[in-house]
Amino acid sequence: MPTAERRTTSVLMCASRQMCRGSSTSRWRNSDASMSPSTMRGSHSRSRCTSIRSSEWDDVLHTNLRGVFFALKYQIPVMMAGTGGVVVTSSSDAIATLAERGAYAASKHALVGLVQAAALEYGQNNIRINAMLPGTTDTALVRRVAGMENAPYAVWRAGAAECAKSHMPGLGRMANPEEIAEFALTLASDEHPFLTGAALVIDGGKGAQGG
């Protein structure tokens, strides 16, 4: 299973596309696994299709979809010298969303289509490309949106457990970041060499109830 190293760039600036290219060719020359995590831009904003501003729509799509496009564009050529696995982080909203989340859901659903096309294009090069669709995960962003970023851990956990009773069907809790990371590393590894072009959900059962 591959190890992971985090590298952060802004996907909205032209200079960052050059940075992405440089990162791929210099730092990951011998890479056999790649993560292309989209952000959560728009995941907690609520707007109807008829009221969302065009600038907000563009911001969400440019960040969540365009950013991953550039990551794939510059990562895949580096990996073509050997074999490898790419994991693109989409969201369970790609298959089951809620009202007033059109921009976010559209961007995450589009990522699945991008992954499927790329998997077909580069399968003959022994590059596997899959999409991971996680549900709500206990991250700093989720805590910040809930207004509990600075709350004691015990208080946060109690509030999250109460919220899960009515908003998180299935296992009735959020994912731990470690659970999502381990799943992603498994997908990126060579443990499943016949797996490509797939959209794999890890949402604790949320999608089973339709969002």
Query: If DSSP codes are grouped into helix, strand and coil, which group holds residue 156?
Result: helix
| pLDDT given at position 25 | 46
Taking a C-beta distance cutoff of 8 angstroms, is the pair 189, 2 a contact?
A: yes
How many CA atoms, within 13 angstroms, populate the side-chain half-sphere of residue 75?
A: 23
Q: Where in the sequence is the domain holding 131, given as residue range(s)?
A: 14-137+175-209
- Domain annotation covers residue 1: no
- Domain annotation covers residue 146: no
Residue with tokens 């992603």: 184
- Domain annotation covers residue 96: yes
- Domain annotation covers residue 28: yes
Between CA 28 and CA 134 the distance in angstroms is 26
- Domain annotation covers residue 2: no
pTM: 0.82
- Domain annotation covers residue 84: yes
Of 104, 92, 20, which Cα lies nearest the Cα of 61?
A: 104
- Domain annotation covers residue 9: no
| pLDDT given at position 57 | 93
| Helix (H) or strand (E) run with residue 36 in it | strand 33-37
Q: CATH number of the domain that 125 lies in?
A: 3.40.50.720
Q: How many domains does the chain have?
A: 1
Beta bridge partners of residue 129, listed in sequence order: 86
Taking a C-beta distance cutoff of 8 angstroms, is the pair 89, 16 a contact?
A: no
For the chain (length 211 residues), average pLDDT per consecutive 10? 52 48 48 58 71 92 92 91 88 89 94 97 95 92 86 88 84 92 92 95 86 49
Between CA 22 and CA 146 the distance in angstroms is 37
Between CA 3 and CA 18 the distance in angstroms is 25
| pLDDT given at position 185 | 92
How many CA atoms, within 13 angstroms, populate the side-chain half-sphere of residue 133?
A: 26
Token pair belonging to 46 = 């609520």
Active site residue 104: yes
Between CA 15 and CA 22 the distance in angstroms is 11
Residue with tokens 């790649």: 34
| Helical ranges in the chain per DSSP H | 14-22, 54-61, 67-79, 102-122, 140-145, 153-167, 177-188
Q: What is the largest CA-CA distance in the chain?
A: 51
- Domain annotation covers residue 157: no
Residue with tokens 């909203």: 93
Set 74, 104, 122, 153: catalytic member: 104
| pLDDT given at position 13 | 46
Phi and psi for 204 in degrees, rounded to 5?
65, 15
